[in-house]
Structure 1
Amino acid sequence: MAADDDFSAPHPRDLIAGLEKGLQVIEAFDQERSRLTIAEVAERTGLTRAAARRYLITLTYLGYMRHENKQFSLTPAVLRLGQSYLHSARLPRIVQPLLYRLAYSLEEAASCGVLDDDQLVCVAAVSAGRLVSNTLQPGTRVPAYCTANGRMLLACLPHAAVERFLERAQPEQITAHTIVNKERLALEIARAREQGYALVDQELELGLRTIAVPLRNFRGDVVAAMNISVHAGRMTAAQIVERCLPAMIKIQVELGALL
């Protein structure tokens, strides 16, 4: 590698615009918009209609899209992209066995996630026989501000980064418990930083309570967060801290020596 190579800020001539735009087309599809027309893809990506059409035709030819009644949708082949990360990345492979042990020792669902911009992406999960939420699956993306893993990771960012996040954030009232006031959200992030864990009570889903701790590598850098999720009808917020946090801290320490 040349000494002046900087992959975080590459020169425009080193970028392949077609690849970037093709990935934007794939990312245009989500839970709310699983089927899109050419015009809708063009609008969501900023491409011309002609360009969007070519990308969609190419992705259909490659097996990543299907076309029916003038609408396009993703095929399961797209999962290969995510599976490549899960199978090759070091973090999920190291975390999964200890996450399994934690989940079954507490008989509660556990997951591990990382920040991707302002979203929390689940990279490993164990249900331990309790399916408390469909969001606890590898590859699932949820807002960081209203999840325990996400809020814990936000709390581990430098203060300036948290301030920038709060400036651009537009919290939505997902449930009656979701914190949307930015001043209160800032206080919750600061509280998580101070106490070393984040507790979120039914802000993403009604009936879902979660507690999270940060995961650090051997250098002390935060690389992910790990949580336990329980049904609100079975355990109060205080009981989650009392029953789950000690076991989580033990796994946290073990993972710190492995990551």
Structure 2
Amino acid sequence: MSTDDDLIQPAQRDLVAGLEKGLQVIATFDQERSRLSIAEVAERTGLTRAAARRYLITLTHLGYMRHENKLFSLTPMVLRLGQSYLHSARLPRLAQPLLYRLAYAQGEAASVGVLDHDQLVCVAAVSAGQLVSVTLQPGTRVPAWCTANGRMLLASLPQAQLDAYLERVQLEPITEYSIIDKKRLAEAIGRARSQGYVLVDQELELGLRTMAVPLKNFRGEVVAAMNISVHAGRMTLEQMTERCLPALLKIQVELNAML
């Protein structure tokens, strides 16, 4: 009989290597590498060229890939994998109606995100007629350190995990406002932890200001973060704190009671 520990620490014999490698092949494709050859997939995954060829042919046969001029690319069928999470996971289903209420009450955009390794993944989003950013869409992935939701989630990590993150993260000047000094970033994360909310001003995109609060389950564990995003030309940071923070905190209390 299997136990929870068996699922957390599985034996090698219980793992399906083919599934692991197939998903690795899919994950190799991204915005910068949307079309790849067999040799490129083999190089990026560490597979032999023959193994990469078999996985690509199988994924093409199943409809997840297309093949043209010796290059492979993903098909829209891959979206089913993400939709399965969005349709079945409890967090997006609970958050979506409250995000609608929050976004339309403020006339702005709102989203909920979770950490996936070192990236922030948006799992629910609503835009009340204001297209603030294309990154505020379910399924989008952005660096955690330069986003309000991501920084709020980093603030919830145990100190040892946060220290390890700060050690390995590579900070790049995405915009002129991006914090690229690790000491300053640690201080910003510390402020988010102590005050219970965070403001990020145009560090991911010029013109994009975001404010986030943590979302906790019934055990008091931070499981996600929720934000409001505005265009910098419409609202100052001081106005965001005055107008948006009370609304965020109100929805936070309601969602926390449901998680």
Using structure 1 for the length normalisation, give the TM-score: 0.98
Query: What CA distance in whole angstroms lies between the structure 1 residues aligned with 2:213 and 2:4?
Result: 37
Runs of at least 4 residues off by over 3 Å: none
Query: What CA distance in whole angstroms lies between the structure 2 residues aligned with 1:180 and 1:49?
Result: 39
Q: Is 1:19–2:14 an aligned residue pair? A: no
Query: What CA distance in whole angstroms lies between the structure 2 residues aligned with 1:214 and 1:120?
Result: 13
| 2:258 partner amino acid | L
Q: Deviations over 1:68-121 (max 9, x none)?
A: 111111000000000000000000000100011000000000000000000000
Offset, 1:4:
6.6
| 2:105 partner amino acid | S
Structure 1: runs of 5+ lacking an equivalent: none
User: 2:228 maps to what in 1?
Assistant: 228
User: 2:187 maps to what in 1?
Assistant: 187
Q: Is 1:35–2:9 an aligned residue pair? A: no
Query: What CA distance in whole angstroms lies between the structure 2 residues aligned with 1:96 and 1:15?
Result: 35
User: 2:101 maps to what in 1?
Assistant: 101
Offset, 1:48:
1.1
| 1:152 partner amino acid | M
Offset, 1:213:
0.2
Q: Deviations over 1:27-54 (max 9, x none)?
A: 0011111111111111111111111111
User: 2:77 maps to what in 1?
Assistant: 77
Alignment length, in residue pairs?
Answer: 259
Q: Is 1:132–2:150 an aligned residue pair? A: no
Query: What CA distance in whole angstroms lies between the structure 1 residues aligned with 2:66 and 2:91?
Result: 33
User: 1:2 maps to what in 2?
Assistant: 2
User: 1:254 maps to what in 2?
Assistant: 254
Query: What CA distance in whole angstroms lies between the structure 2 residues aligned with 1:204 and 1:3?
Result: 42
Cα RMSD of the aligned pairs, angstroms, is: 0.9
Query: What CA distance in whole angstroms lies between the structure 1 residues aligned with 2:150 and 2:6?
Result: 28
Query: What CA distance in whole angstroms lies between the structure 2 residues aligned with 1:176 and 1:72?
Result: 36
User: 1:240 maps to what in 2?
Assistant: 240
Offset, 1:243:
0.8
Q: Deviations over 1:169-223 (max 9, x none)?
A: 1112111111111111111110100111111111111110000000011221111
- Judge which range, 57-66 or 7-16, deviates more: 7-16
Query: Counterparts of 1:209-224 in structure 2 under 5 Å?
Result: 209-224=209-224
Query: What CA distance in whole angstroms lies between the structure 1 residues aligned with 2:118 and 2:22?
Result: 22
| 1:186 partner amino acid | A
- The 3-state SS of whatever aligns with 2:210 is strand
Query: What CA distance in whole angstroms lies between the structure 2 residues aligned with 1:221 and 1:5?
Result: 21
Query: What CA distance in whole angstroms lies between the structure 2 residues aligned with 1:77 and 1:219?
Result: 37
User: 1:144 maps to what in 2?
Assistant: 144
User: 1:67 maps to what in 2?
Assistant: 67
Query: What CA distance in whole angstroms lies between the structure 2 residues aligned with 1:206 and 1:36?
Result: 31
Query: What CA distance in whole angstroms lies between the structure 2 residues aligned with 1:9 and 1:238?
Result: 48
User: 1:167 maps to what in 2?
Assistant: 167
User: 1:58 maps to what in 2?
Assistant: 58
| 1:88 partner amino acid | S
User: 1:153 maps to what in 2?
Assistant: 153
User: Cα gap change, 1:217/1:50 in structure 2, threshold over 3 Å: closer, same or farther?
Assistant: same
| 2:16 partner amino acid | I
Q: Is 1:91–2:91 an aligned residue pair? A: yes
Using structure 2 for the length normalisation, give the TM-score: 0.98
- The 3-state SS of whatever aligns with 2:7 is coil
